[in-house]
Amino acid sequence: MIKSREVPTELRQFNSVFNSLIYRHDVSQIFRDFLEIVICCLGHGTQEKTYFEVINRYNREELENFSRLFGELMVFYSKNTAENSWCDPLGTYYELLAGNYKKSAFGQFFTPKALCDLMVQMTMEKQNFGITVNEPACGSGRLVMAANAFVRGNKYICQDMDDICCQMTAINLAFHKVDAVVYCMNSITIDEPRRTYIINHELWKHKTISILQPNKKSP
């Protein structure tokens, strides 16, 4: 259990709800399932089989808590993006889990926000918009979100070997209204992607954030 004092103020209610789920289930599985549920919801009916496979592991009260987690996440994104900032609630909470559950399936730590902003300011120019940018080790998508906040109007291609990282990136970029494709793959050996996430396809037309998975379709 992560104590409230260890959690940023804006994530304390999220943490309280998450802690209510850990008594019957593995912590890393809960986090994975939460990411999968969010992605299925943003798939707008294209991932119903996966959605029901995940929720069938939980009872009614637990599913209500997953709904509350989703609500807390949406509030966090809404508040921060309204202030013309970028945020990474998933990566931040993931790092807290990694620090508290060292024997579980957690391990990554991500570039601090201030350093992401500095790296973007050193490598990008304001007039460079309408281009395609590659991020071969996306983590939770922090550099892409920092780049999007600095220069809007670009498309991003992201890769990471870890599917948890790819899922966090997909969700983060969806809520930040970034046009992107995320591949779960080894960007060095250029192997076949295990999963692909298309983020906000034609958002300008549909006005709805989305995550589509062309190589993982429900029947």
The pLDDT tens digits of the residues spanning 84-94 come to 789 999 999 99
As a whole number, mean pLDDT of residues 106-110 equals 67
pLDDT band at 99 (very low <50, low <70, confident <90, very high): confident
Strands 211-212 and 195-199: antiparallel
Which pLDDT score, from 0 to 100, does residue 100 have?
A: 74
The residue written with tokens 């996966």 in the block is 50
Could you tell me the pLDDT band of residue 98, with boundaries at 50, 70 and 90? Answer: confident
In the 3-class helix/strand/coil scheme, how is 57-85 assigned residue by residue? CCCHHHHHHHHHHHHHHHHHHHHHHHCCC
Arithmetic mean of pLDDT, 123-132:
87
The strands making up 132-135's β-sheet, listed across from edge to edge, are: 132-135, 155-160, 179-184, 195-199, 211-212
Q: What percent of the chain has pLDDT above 90? A: 75
Token code pair at residue 95:
């790092």
What does the alpha-carbon distance between residue 4 and residue 67 come to, in Å, rounded to a whole number?
20
- Judged by phi (left if over 0) then psi (alpha if -120 to 50, else beta), residue 44 lies in left
Rounded percentage of the chain residues whose pLDDT exceeds 70: 94
- Among candidates 214, 219, 213, 215, which has minimal Cα distance to 38? 213
CA atoms lying within 13 Å on the CB side of residue 165: 23
Instruction: Fill in the amino acid letter for 149.
Output: A
Q: Which domains does the chain have, with CATH numbers?
A: 4-100 (no CATH), 113-212 (3.40.50.150)
Residue 85 CA neighbour count, 13 Å, CB half: 11
State phi, psi for 24 to the nearest 5 degrees: -115, -5
What number is the average pLDDT over the span 206-219? 79
- Could you say which DSSP state residue 176 is in? T
Map residue 109 onto helix, strand or coil. Answer: coil
Confidence of residue 196 (pLDDT cuts 50, 70, 90): very high
What is the overall mean pLDDT for the chain?
Answer: 91
Task: Name which of 81, 150, 137 is nearest 109 in CA terms.
Answer: 137
pTM of the full predicted structure?
0.93
- The 10 Å Cβ neighbour count of residue 77 is 20
> How far is C-alpha 97 from the geometric centre of its chain's CA atoms?
15
